[in-house]
Structure 1
Amino acid sequence: MTVSDATNSDATMLSTLLDARYSCRAFLSKQVPREDIERMLRMAQRTPSWCNSQPWQVHVTSGDATDRLRAATYEQAASGLLDPDIAGPVEYRGEYAERRRNAGYALYNALSIARDDYPERTRQMLENYRFFGAPHVAIVTTDKQLGTYGAVDCGGYVATLLLAAQALGIAAVPQAAVAMTATALRNELNISDERDIVCAISFGYADESHPANTCRTDRAELGDVVR
């Protein structure tokens, strides 16, 4: 194999992983072997970061610990008392609002939820806090003092971890929603007040029979995002 052939093979493999990955929203209860979890995390650790600061710290749960965390985050979310460390978007406007709306409709259509069925939409939204039944969840945090760039670096870490999971046959979903239950997460995982909770990544094996896992989202054309 020539250098050119090897490069093309690597690019094809990466493209295949990117095309195959999706946000899993229904998991089997089967646990992921610890060695596969550790391999996934080692791969994600290669993520580049500002000044190589590597600001991410990750709490990973399995078994009963996942179930306790699931119960705690769901209880807080269902109460409506959300307290994220990092403020969410002020407003979705223009194409951002359209993309957000289309993503929601794609999921509701897959689940046969009518657009005006607000109780069912709320029930589905709250499944975020049950981690969609995943046997594992990773909570990603950053040092508060690193500010925006620490959070940006964590975003890169999340992207790498998702691709590592896909390469290992592990289904996953990144969840900003879970970070909105900061009190529950801190109480269960003993997370320091000096750290901001960025997001969760629920992972395990996909329930391929569940209609939620037929949902796919599209991506903007290059001409829409590149100048």
Structure 2
Amino acid sequence: MGDPRAPAAVLAGIDLSAVPAPAQSVLTTILERRSVRGFLPTPVPRETVEAILAVASRAPSGSNIQPWKVHVCAGPVRDAICREVLAAHDAEAADPAAGEPHRDEYRYYPEKWRDPYLTRRRDLGWALYGAVGIARGENDKMHRQRGRNFSFFGAPVGLVFTLDRDLSVGSWIDLGMFMQNVMLAARAYGLETCPQQAFARYHRILRQHLAIPDDQIVVCAMALGLPDPDEPANRLVSEREPVAAFGSFHGF
């Protein structure tokens, strides 16, 4: 994994001096975005969240249908969601049958893993566990670390993203671009984020607290808040493949 002390542009091998000065901040915001797994409890004003969502809504969508929906929780609503989802997570670990009510509504990962994706996933997982001092075989500690997802990693604000169930694949692409805008806009306000698909499994609990109708599918959630500078997990910097590994150029 990369050295978190190194500038993001250095880690990505980008020469910002070749970019006009006004645009450098845009590239820096993209390069420095990361999934933060430890937040301060400092409240985020509703007006700030609304501003972030307003900026994010400039994301493109097919024929401008703007399919995204966002259910924002904070305070006692957020706390109740966290308690119930974490309790369900713990109960399922103790007895797999307890997880029967909590079924995934869509498949996020492949049914059968293969390289290079399996190796990348494992590398990130062990890097994260190493950052927080969890060794191989410490299953109870791993379970507790996974459970931190369901406290939004301590963030005071949780966002839950949904789509109308009758929409098609293109709207999922649109939602992804909208979510990226949310994450980048948050950084402009000094905030950080962590997208969390793990919450989607517990959509029944989310529906009860956020009045999400059955005709919307819960796609994922996202933590939003000020990063905790003392959280060991926040020292993790995940690697990215070089352009040569995924880019194919023709006619240049």
The answer on 1:109 being equivalent to 2:130 is: yes
In 1, distance between residues paired with 2:49 and 2:30? 20
The answer on 1:88 being equivalent to 2:108 is: yes
Give % identity.
34
In 2, distance between residues paired with 1:10 and 1:109? 38
1:144 corresponds to which letter in structure 2?
R
In structure 2, list runs of 5 or more residues that go unmatched.
1-16, 93-98
Give CA deviations for 1:44-84 in whole Å, capped at 9, x if unaligned: 11110122111111000111111011112212222322322
In the alignment, what sits opposite 1:63?
Answer: 75
Q: Is the 8 A contact 1:84 1:179 kept in 2?
A: yes
In the alignment, what sits opposite 1:75?
Answer: 87
In the alignment, what sits opposite 2:26?
Answer: 14
Give CA deviations for 1:83-142 in whole Å, capped at 9, x if unaligned: 222222223310111111111112111101102212111110111111111111000000
In the alignment, what sits opposite 1:99?
Answer: 120
The answer on 1:144 being equivalent to 2:165 is: yes
CA shift, 1:169, in A, is 0.7
1:178 corresponds to which letter in structure 2?
F
Q: Is the 8 A contact 1:106 1:216 kept in 2?
A: no
TM-score of the superposition, structure 1-length normalised?
0.93
In 2, distance between residues paired with 1:73 and 1:153? 28
CA shift, 1:157, in A, is 1.1
The answer on 1:122 being equivalent to 2:143 is: yes
In the alignment, what sits opposite 1:185?
Answer: 206
What do you get for the CA RMSD once the two structures are aligned? 1.5
CA shift, 1:151, in A, is 1.6
1:135 to 143, 152, 156: 156
1:203 to 219, 224, 227: 224
In structure 1, list runs of 5 or more residues that go unmatched.
none
In 1, distance between residues paired with 2:54 and 2:38? 25
In 2, distance between residues paired with 1:164 and 1:56? 16
In the alignment, what sits opposite 2:39?
Answer: 27
CA radius of gyration, larger in: 2
Change (3 A) 1:95 1:134: same
Structure 1 residue runs of 4 or more that deviate by more than 6 Å after TM superposition: none
